[in-house]
Amino acid sequence: MYPKLAFWLLLFCLYTPETLSSDPDPVQDFCIPNTIYASKLTLLPCKNPKLVTPEDFVFSGIKSPGNFSDTGLSAIPVNPSTFPGLNTLGMSFVRADLKPGGVNPPHSHPRATETVYVVRGKVYSGFVDSTNRVFAKIIERGDVMVFPRGLVHFQMNVGKSPATVFGCFNSQNPGMQKIPNVVFGSGINDELLEKAFGLSLGQISTMRRRFLPRKRLN
């Protein structure tokens, strides 16, 4: 990432949960999960504050892109499971990189509003409201866009060079539903899909092979 943008990225994420509060307000300054109880409890107790160190509040896992998917997208989500310092603070974030022409397919986050900041590149970005109206435009380095909670949104790199986007959520567990996977990878009845989309059974089968989890195809 560009060093000069570090301050703005930090301010961007710190400001988001204050103005768009979603998760319950914490009842303590912080709660670093005590991982020594990981095998015994689903909800981990907090570590003794006297044992907490500055390292508990630093994450270095988004300095470079992750692995890219077939759609040209690399996304590194950061939440309490990867960065325990976020626990109970009502926020999480993601670094997304897009190859030229790469897309972040239509998806939604049922438990969070998302704000995205373009670190580099040109990205066609937008969302669809409940009346099926599309709000989309090309955003560039330094631009910020917001995706209202639960609404389907998408991104595509329309530039000639890689693009990097930094996203913040006002929930530590925003959830995600990818529309293609929900429709064709969830096991919805074939006849229903045939009637809903006007597809043949052969076309539905082709889509299932692409989006149905591999373990369910065996």
User: Using one digit for the tens of pLDDT, what is the confidence trace for 155-168?
Assistant: 999 999 999 999 99
Whether the per-residue pLDDT at 213 is higher than 80: the answer is: no
Instruction: Write down the pLDDT at residue 209.
Output: 86
Cβ-based neighbours of 125, under 8 Å, separated by 6 or more: 116, 136, 137, 138, 139, 145, 153, 154, 155, 156, 165
Confidence class for position 18, pLDDT limits 50, 70, 90: very low
Average the pLDDT over 182-187 and give the result: 90
What is the band of 25 on the pLDDT scale with cuts at 50, 70, 90? Answer: confident
Query: Sign of the C-alpha dihedral, residues 173, 177, 178, 182?
Result: positive
Domains annotated for the chain, with CATH where assigned, are 3-80+89-174 (2.60.120.10), 176-218 (no CATH)
pTM above 0.75, yes or no: yes
Predicted confidence at residue 14, as pLDDT, reads 57
What's the chain's average pLDDT?
87
